[in-house]
Amino acid sequence: MRPIPTTVIRHPKEKIRKCSLRFLHERPEMTFLRGNPGFVFDATGFTLLAVDAEPLSTKDNERPLLLLDSTWRWLPQLLACVSGEPIHRSIPGNVRTAYPRISKVFEDPEAGLASIEALYLARKLLGDDDPSLLDGYHWKDQFLQSLQQS
């Protein structure tokens, strides 16, 4: 299977050096955009990963993915950049993040994953199982181990 084209819109306050997706910038199927004020992205025809949506299935593998990369606190600002009619889908199951959460001012959703974890799982569920997506991720081994246990 060909790699699933993926567009990532990153919140302008998100620090690239701390971003779990920073090692994917050179991959040809990946497009990275910055959600600066005034930026608008027409997501019609994309699958938008969301926590509270219908689960992804192989029926969704014909659409490119759209991933919003931000803290949970800034996510509403980033969602405001998305126009059109994307198809919202979630990661099914009870997968938990391996990323250590440290927010003291904002509660993260229980089903929330690090961006790289969500991307890897989404593409795997769509038939594009590519563990090399996780190669630069510090918590790769813990995350893959947790998937075997769930």
Enclosing H/E stretch for 79: helix 75-79
Round to whole Å and give the CA distance between 104 and 113: 17
Round to whole Å and give the CA distance between 150 and 15: 31
Categorize the per-residue pLDDT at 107 as very low, low, confident or very high, splitting at 50, 70 and 90. Answer: low
Domain boundaries along the sequence of the chain: 6-149
Categorize the per-residue pLDDT at 99 as very low, low, confident or very high, splitting at 50, 70 and 90. Answer: low
Reference 96, options 130, 64, 56, 139; nearest CA is 139
Categorize the per-residue pLDDT at 70 as very low, low, confident or very high, splitting at 50, 70 and 90. Answer: confident
Which tens digits make up the pLDDT trace of 4-55?
999 999 988 877 776 778 889 899 999 999 999 999 999 999 999 988 899 9
Round to whole Å and give the CA distance between 74 and 2: 32
Give 55's strand partners.
Answer: 90
pTM: 0.84
Highest mean pLDDT among 60-69, 96-105, 130-139: 60-69
Q: Percent of the chain beyond pLDDT 90?
A: 53
Q: How far apart are the first and last CA of the chain?
A: 25
